[in-house]
Amino acid sequence: MTAIRPVRKAVFPVAGLGTRLLPATKTMPKEMLTVVDRPLIQYAVDEARDAGIEQLIFVTGRGKSSLVDYFDLGFELEATMEKAGKSRAALDGSRTTPGELISVRQQQPLGLGHAVWCARHVVGDEPFAVILPDDLMVGGLGVGGALRQMVEAYNQVGGNIVCAAEVPADKTASYGIVDPGETRGNLTEVRGMVEKPRPGDAPSRLAIIGRYILQPAVMDILDAKETGAGGEIQLTDAMARLIGRQPFHAVKVDAVRHDCGDKAGFVLANLAIAMDNPELGPIIEEYLASR
Ligand code: G1P
């Protein structure tokens, strides 16, 4: 068996328009909307760093430069705060070192597969993670974030890994759905996958959540720019072509997913994170109890 190569790079597809969150996203990228005390994108970056990722690759679009600015060193801000004797601790996670963050543009909204393909030159010939910041993963206390749990699984089995969770039977058309093989612990062999099947056509209720560890061969498949569900270049279709050629597993992680691309999911993510916060938790609970 060939050696399992470490996952050092993570691709963040962040070019989307966020239409489900309008009007909030009219001039503000959805990834910059605040969840409790930091923008949504910072949770994704924190999770990547927790998993040992060294290279952050943002696939952005027009009007989304604030995502890259956010992770710069706020030089004037920091100098002013230092002069005033103010703590800069709150800024810690929002800084990158030079070269840690690279951004590329997805010039047209042609689908998730296309967004990932836009990062091909930066990914190069090594395995990489993909994190969809909309899927905010909360929990996993003491076991690390969702991506770290996936990297641990990857270090055992190599190949390709998707994060997965059971969804209600009537929700399969919102997800990539796995055709599951044998399950051992939290790992399930993937025999096939299909993007957004109608409930009657779905091979299972095991849905792909927005975390992936992929081998670079997926980029060669994406090169063909074949379109699938919704007329888009789908990552799920490209991944499906790797099955049988390389190991492919779905892993269930110890964390709860909140879909922050949706208003209800966004509010629930705020609630879940605030309730885990020792300062805010009791205030929210008291408020909820009073309702
Ligand atoms: C994307 C993927 C889908 C996956 C989902 C997870 O869909 O195409 O396979 O299940 O993310 O959030 P989207 O939500 O972008 O339509």
Does pLDDT of 290 surpass 70? yes
75 φ, ψ (degrees, to nearest 5): -60, -50
Q: Give residue 3's pLDDT band: very low, low, confident or very high (50, 70, 90).
A: confident
Ligand 1 contact, 207 CB (< 6 A): yes
Q: Give residue 144's pLDDT band: very low, low, confident or very high (50, 70, 90).
A: confident
Does pLDDT of 269 surpass 80? yes
Q: Find the 174 Cα to ligand 1 centroid distance in Å.
A: 7
Task: Provide the pLDDT for residue 219.
Answer: 98
Domain boundaries, the chain: 9-290
Which atom, in ligand 1's list, is nearest to the CA of 257?
12
Does pLDDT of 150 surpass 80? yes
Reading phi first (left if > 0) and then psi (alpha if -120 to 50, else beta), residue 225 is in left
Task: Provide the pLDDT for residue 143.
Answer: 73
Does pLDDT of 2 surpass 80? no
Q: Find the 210 Cα to ligand 1 centroid distance in Å.
A: 6
Q: Span 105-128, mean pLDDT?
A: 97
pLDDT digit string, tens, across residues 42-78: 999 999 999 999 999 999 999 999 999 999 999 999 9
What is the chain's Cα-based Rg? 19
Q: Find the 95 Cα to ligand 1 centroid distance in Å.
A: 28
- What is the C-alpha separation between 38 and 50, in angstroms, rounded? 17
pLDDT digit string, tens, across residues 154-175: 999 999 999 999 999 999 999 9
In the numeric block, which tokens belong to residue 19? 């239409």
**Quick one: which of 207, 241, 211 has its CA closest to 226?**
241
278-286 contacts, C-beta under 8 A, 24 or more apart: 280/36
Task: Provide the pLDDT for residue 113.
Answer: 98
Task: Provide the pLDDT for residue 1.
Answer: 53
For ligand 1, pick from 132, 171, 236, 262 the residue to mutate: most ligand atoms within 8 Å of CB.
Answer: 132
Q: Would you say 284 and 271 are in contact if contact means Cβ atoms under 8 Å apart?
A: yes
Task: Provide the pLDDT for residue 141.
Answer: 65
pLDDT above 70 coverage of the chain, percent: 98
Neighbours of 264 (CB within 10 A): 9
Q: Would you say 61 and 108 are in contact if contact means Cβ atoms under 8 Å apart?
A: no
**Helix orientation angle between 263-275 and 281-290, rounded to the nearest 10 degrees:** 120
Ligand 1 contact, 60 CB (< 6 A): no
Q: Find the 166 Cα to ligand 1 centroid distance in Å.
A: 14
Q: Find the 234 Cα to ligand 1 centroid distance in Å.
A: 9
Q: Would you say 248 and 160 are in contact if contact means Cβ atoms under 8 Å apart?
A: yes
Ligand 1 contact, 47 CB (< 6 A): no
Q: Whose CA is nearest to atom 7 of ligand 1?
A: 175
Neighbours of 192 (CB within 10 A): 15
Which atom, in ligand 1's list, is nearest to the CA of 259?
12
pLDDT digit string, tens, across residues 202-261: 999 999 999 999 999 999 999 999 999 999 999 999 999 999 999 999 999 999 999 999
User: CATH homologous superfamily for 9-290?
Assistant: Spore Coat Polysaccharide Biosynthesis Protein SpsA; Chain A (3.90.550.10)
What residue type is 159 in one-letter code? G
Which atom, in ligand 1's list, is nearest to the CA of 134?
12
Q: Give residue 139's pLDDT band: very low, low, confident or very high (50, 70, 90).
A: confident
Task: Provide the pLDDT for residue 165.
Answer: 97
Q: Find the 258 Cα to ligand 1 centroid distance in Å.
A: 13
- What is the C-alpha separation between 31 and 269, in angstroms, rounded? 13
Question: Interior CA angle at 97 toward 95 and 99, to 5°?
Answer: 125
For ligand 1, pick from 20, 106, 110, 112 the residue to mutate: most ligand atoms within 8 Å of CB.
Answer: 112
